[in-house]
Chains A and B, each alone.
Chain A
Amino acid sequence: MSRDLLITLPALNEASNLPEVLAGLREHWPSAALLVVDDASSDATAAVARAHGALVAVLPFALGYGGAVQTGIKYGLRRGFAVVVTFDADGQHDPADVGPLVEAVRGGADLAIGSRALASGSYRGGIGRRFGRAVFTGLARALTGLRLTDPTSGLKALGPRGQALFAVSRFPDRYPDADALVLARRARLTIAERPARMRPSRNRRSMHGGVGSLAYGLNMLFSLFVAATGRDLHPKE
């Protein structure tokens, strides 16, 4: 297996979606290493992933989406992969969108993000989420001049410098979100965006809704402030 491309999939109880998702990735990327990070699932996620030829990192207890993604990135960083792609295990991402992201990183970007907003006809979430995304995108832009269209996208490709930043212990690990991108910007990473179509998640485990969205909003607001004004995070060299 070449040390060129690692595709890592954080997975929580995705045993039913994984066969199709892994098969799709394998078809597009026959030589890539696939790593499923099992966030302490209660179903057969790990066994299914193994049966479909993926490497599996089983977490001893659930860390949540961000902690699981970070586990995969740490693996890629330690093994010296040139490109690490983070890909959702629930089938909402399209393997065909990985190509342009990988190309962007090979072309010099430290971080490439798959954006729903750039893809015509992509699912973009309900009105509440779209509103929230617009607010935080605007804030991130006001704080750092960062022009990005889809900060909550989980589909990303990272070069070595991007991996090193995202692997820092105190890197925000709650969701993929605008605060992470503000930090990437502060660390002077080169950031690119490419269109990506997304389907509505089949396995809904979204935590944004009702009182949750208010808490999420306040948390994100504060997190953005911290990312923009807080102490620098230094990746280990």
Chain B
Amino acid sequence: MPTRQIVVFLGLVLVLLVAILELVRRRVLRVEYSWLWIASCLTTVLLILRYDLLVELTELVGAVVPTSTLFFLCILYLALLCLHYSIRISDLTHQVKDLAQEVALLRVHRSEAAPDDDDASPRVG
């Protein structure tokens, strides 16, 4: 791998890594979600520095050029990531539904306790 490429890509990964750390520090990204991204960055660094690993892997899976191996793995990785998020969203959908129902039931409870206190509660969305 030409030195110029190594420098450029290492630089990019470094920027990404710093950005992720900063997001975590600002509490925008939760720590448990950051591991995934940090691990992706480190894998990229590994492949930049040890291109021969990618070549060996290419031979192992029977691909012709290392780029196809790389793209294939990237796509697979992104697909799995999407699946992971779908599962999280399903989970969150149930939680949000349960919370909305809880709010509605608490409103009944409140109106039973004080029937005149009409519902001036703001509506979301």
Contacts and interface: CB of A to CB of B under 8 A. Distances in A.
Partners in one complex: yes
Interface residues of B, number: 18
Closest 5 CB pairs of A and B: A57-B104, A71-B101, A61-B125, A59-B104, A60-B124
Interface in A141-175: 169-170, 173
B87 interface: no
A67 interface: yes
Interface residues of A, number: 24
A61 B123 contact: yes
22 contacts: A37-B104, A40-B125, A47-B118, A50-B111, A55-B112, A56-B108, A56-B111, A56-B119, A60-B100, A60-B103, A60-B121, A60-B123, A60-B125, A61-B100, A63-B101, A71-B105, A74-B101, A74-B105, A75-B108, A169-B97, A169-B98, A173-B97
A236 interface: no
A58 interface: yes
A70 interface: yes
Nearest to A36: B108
Interface string B69-84: 0000000000000000
Interface string B86-125: 0000000010011011011101100110000011010111
Interface of A: 35, 37-38, 40, 46-47, 50, 55-61, 63, 67, 70-71, 74-75, 78, 169-170, 173
B97 A78 contact: no
Nearest to B98: A169
Chain B interface, >50% SS class: helix
Contact of B118 (A50, A170, A173): A50
A170 B104 CA distance: 18
Nearest to A170: B94
Contacts of B119: 46, 56, 58
Contact of B104 (A47, A50, A60, A169): A60
A173 B101 CA distance: 13
B99 to A, nearest CB: 9
B105 A61 contact: no
